[in-house]
Amino acid sequence: MVECDLAKVDVAGSNPVSRSIVLPRKTAMMKRLLFVLSAVLLASTPLFSQDYKLEPIATAAPGLPAAYAKLIDSQGYRVVGPKGPWCEIWFPKAIRTGSKASDDSVVLSIPQGALLGVLRFPGTGGDRRGQTIKPGVYTLRYSNYPVDGAHQGAAPQRDFALLTPLAADSDPNTTPAFDPLVQQSIKGCGTPHPAVLSLEAAAGAGQAALTKEGETDWVLKLKAGGVELGIILVGKVEE
């Protein structure tokens, strides 16, 4: 039997040396291709991982007047996103409640204009409509958007929190009616529409948790001031 070492066979029209070079070149090309594909995947990852997290705050909201300081819990929450802190929020020790509305699209039993807390944007913030909100501390007051064509589809429920700069909302115990509250928010925030955050029911909520809903919304759900609620702190409604 004759042993044959194919690596040493000189086939007509071929060169053993050239064959030894072709395979490494192909391997190098494959490695370069894999490297490029990996770089593309890594570069695109941040587009799909805009995650937010919740951090506890052990100190009271900054600059609270005495009237607010005695009503607002000294412990709050910070929402941190890909670019750093997004917002900070503190809730009242007790949130006013009322009778259940006959309208099923109203999910929270809270009186019009009742104080829901204070929120701070350390940098430029935004509301549910996508309006730009200046850095600062804002009050949050409860309301329902009106049943009219202008607000159709804004949310499955009519419960919203309206933002007003703290400096323009001096009395935490007031419960402004809808129209004055809207004007107070527009004038104070300097936005075309009142600055709003969407609220939702959160039955069974206890310890505060930040969860993602849909593609872009991040909802803080908790039991605050005796009321189980959710508030969408990140994300805007698609009109």
Tokens representing residue 71 in the block: 């009503």
CA distances from 191 to 144, 185, 187, 196 (A): 19, 8, 7, 11
Residue 236 Cα distances to 13, 108, 113, 157, 195, angstroms: 69, 21, 23, 15, 12
- Give domain limits for the chain: 6-46, 50-234
Radius of gyration over alpha carbons of the chain, in Å?
29
If DSSP codes are grouped into helix, strand and coil, which group holds residue 187? helix
* 105-125 pLDDT tens trace: 899 999 999 999 999 999 999
pLDDT the model gives residue 39: 42
- Report whether 116 contacts 141 (CB < 8 A): yes
Give residue-wise pLDDT tens across range 158-187. 999 999 999 999 999 999 999 999 999 999
Q: How far is CA 30 from the centre of its chain?
A: 41
pLDDT at position 237: 84
Q: What is the pTM of this model?
A: 0.77
Measured CA to CA, the distance from residue 52 to residue 48 in angstroms comes to 12
Give the pLDDT of residue 209. Answer: 96
Mean pLDDT in order along the chain per 10 residues (239 residues):
46 47 56 49 43 97 96 98 97 93 88 98 96 97 77 70 96 96 95 95 90 94 96 88
Helix ranges (H only) for 70-203 are 178-189
Contact by Cβ (8 Å): 220, 199 = no
